[in-house]
Structure 1
Amino acid sequence: MKIGILNTGNIGGRLARAWAAAGHDLVLAKDGEDRKIAPLLAELGDRARLGTVREAAAFGEAVLFSVYWPRVEAIVDAVGDALDGKVVIETMNPLNVTAEFKHFHDLDFMRNGSTAEDLQRRLPKARIVKAFSTLAAPVLEAAAWAGSPLPANVFYASDDDEAGRATRGLIADAGFRPINVGPLVAARQIEQLGVLLHHVADHEYGGDADLVRLALAVVEANPGPVLRERVV
């Protein structure tokens, strides 16, 4: 599959490696200085080339929209109509930043919306899928889970069944277990899982520094549920 990556940062770079290894062809764009992804391009060889944001959007049959939330409007303006009809995998969380550059979840926004729904409104002809937003970049590599009894899950949501299936395959190609949570409105709950993980990091572990170690997984009972007769 042809994949465009907007933007090739911590998340996009890791997925670029996995997808190149799985045989996909990539055009990588950087919202910022291109020189920062020169080592990655050299590493990926003929599986990837550098492009502008619009070129990467035009190239991809699927496009990873891995953009810093405050930069969405600028990137949407840059791609124009290049994402019309494309599968667009959106990885964002609704994070704002203080003057001291401290990030925080925009809880007011999250009450009645999600970044995925916002992007769908901005790009009405694109086929938006929410995915890859609950794993911190340092654990967004299959090797990070080599010693774990369970693989990390990647939850995805979309109103487009075909786009969801394409994303499901790309999640598996990245080394994770895809979990379908339904229509795009369910992206609200996926994004709220990010808040939950921050609470887990704060209260069960040593604080936000441990957030990069955490993931969520769906566990199926094996051999099965233990059912007991109900006394009435």
Structure 2
Amino acid sequence: MKIGVINAGNIGSHLAKAWVQAGHQVIVSKDGDRAKLQPLIAELGEKVLVGELEEAAQFGDVLLFSVSWLRFEQVLSRLGSLEGKILIDTMNPLKVNEAYEHFHDLEFMRFNSTSEELQRLVPNARVVKAFSTIPAHLLDKDSWKGSQMLPSIFFAGDDGQAKQVVAQLIQDTGFPGIDAGSLSSARLLESMGLLLHRIAEAQEGDSNLNLAPTFLFKQ
């Protein structure tokens, strides 16, 4: 399968590596400093392609859309036609305050989700929410060696065929997938992310949303 990674950050890099190892054709791109892709390129070599955001979007039948919520419209405007493509949305509706601390946009979350907004802007694509509730560094199956269980990857969408493809891609990363229903369930998955961060703050005494609540995923 041809997969375009729209912004190979922490999440995108882990998934790109897993999908390359599973035999998929993967092209990675970066929103920002492309030099940050060098560790991934050094590790995978010729097994992974590298391109601009536009090239990754046009190459992939499936696109991993893993950009900052604050940047998603700007990135989306560069990608061209996405008609018929499957878009895997990993985003959470996070804003940044003057102290550069991330926080959830609660007003937006009342009646919407990043996935539904993405689908509204690209009505001819097929959006599936996935990989949004697990801290990025825990998306490496090798980090779970010796564990008796793996975390489940929830996914949600309105297109049944697209969900089947995403379910297989989740399996190819080495994790079990759980169908969470229609795309509107993305609101619940994003609220789950908010809950995990609230628990992290209560348990660890830190409100920095960049700190993964690893205690919730005992190994």
TM-score range, shorter chain: over 0.9
1:213 CA drift (Å): 4.5
- Paired letter, 2:68: Y
- Asked whether the equivalents of residues 138 and 212 of structure 1 are also in contact (C-alpha less than 8 Å), the reply is no
Structure 2 counterparts to residues 81-230 of structure 1, below 5 A: 81=81, 83-205=82-204, 207=206, 209=211, 211-215=213-217
- Asked whether the equivalents of residues 156 and 183 of structure 2 are also in contact (C-alpha less than 8 Å), the reply is yes
| Partner SS for 1:179 | strand
Partner deviation per Cα, 1:58-111 (whole Å, 9 max, x = no partner): 111111000000001111100021x21101100000000001111000111111
Partner deviation per Cα, 1:187-214 (whole Å, 9 max, x = no partner): 0001111011112222345545451453
Q: How many corresponding residue pairs?
A: 215
**Deviating more after overlay: 3-12 vs 199-208:** 199-208
- Provide the C-alpha distance between the structure 1 equivalents of 2:116 and 2:144, rounded to a whole number of angstroms: 31
- Asked whether the equivalents of residues 139 and 213 of structure 1 are also in contact (C-alpha less than 8 Å), the reply is no
- Paired letter, 2:60: G
Partner deviation per Cα, 1:19-69 (whole Å, 9 max, x = no partner): 111111111110011111023123212221111111101111111000000
- Asked whether the equivalents of residues 8 and 66 of structure 2 are also in contact (C-alpha less than 8 Å), the reply is yes
Q: Which residue of structure 2 lines up, in the alignment, with residue 67 of structure 1?
A: 67
- Provide the C-alpha distance between the structure 1 equivalents of 2:119 and 2:142, rounded to a whole number of angstroms: 33
1:145 CA drift (Å): 2.2
- Provide the C-alpha distance between the structure 2 equivalents of 1:210 and 1:41, rounded to a whole number of angstroms: 25
- Asked whether the equivalents of residues 135 and 212 of structure 2 are also in contact (C-alpha less than 8 Å), the reply is no
- Provide the C-alpha distance between the structure 2 equivalents of 1:94 and 1:58, rounded to a whole number of angstroms: 26
Would you say 1:51 and 2:51 are equivalent positions? yes
For structure 2, which runs of at least 5 residues remain unmatched after alignment? none
- Provide the C-alpha distance between the structure 1 equivalents of 2:201 and 2:147, rounded to a whole number of angstroms: 22
- Asked whether the equivalents of residues 69 and 95 of structure 1 are also in contact (C-alpha less than 8 Å), the reply is yes
1:153 CA drift (Å): 0.6
TM-score (structure 2 length as normaliser): 0.93
Give identity over the alignment, percent. 47
| Partner SS for 2:137 | helix
| Partner SS for 2:170 | helix
TM-score (structure 1 length as normaliser): 0.88
- Paired letter, 2:213: L
- Asked whether the equivalents of residues 54 and 80 of structure 1 are also in contact (C-alpha less than 8 Å), the reply is yes
- Asked whether the equivalents of residues 96 and 104 of structure 1 are also in contact (C-alpha less than 8 Å), the reply is yes
- Asked whether the equivalents of residues 115 and 128 of structure 2 are also in contact (C-alpha less than 8 Å), the reply is yes
C-alpha distance 198-174 of structure 1, shift in aligned 2 (>3 A): same
Bigger radius of gyration: 1
- When the two chains are superposed, the root-mean-square deviation of aligned CA atoms in Å is 1.5
- Asked whether the equivalents of residues 88 and 128 of structure 1 are also in contact (C-alpha less than 8 Å), the reply is yes
- Provide the C-alpha distance between the structure 2 equivalents of 1:31 and 1:63, rounded to a whole number of angstroms: 14
- Provide the C-alpha distance between the structure 2 equivalents of 1:103 and 1:210, rounded to a whole number of angstroms: 13
Q: Which residue of structure 2 lines up, in the alignment, with residue 30 of structure 1?
A: 30
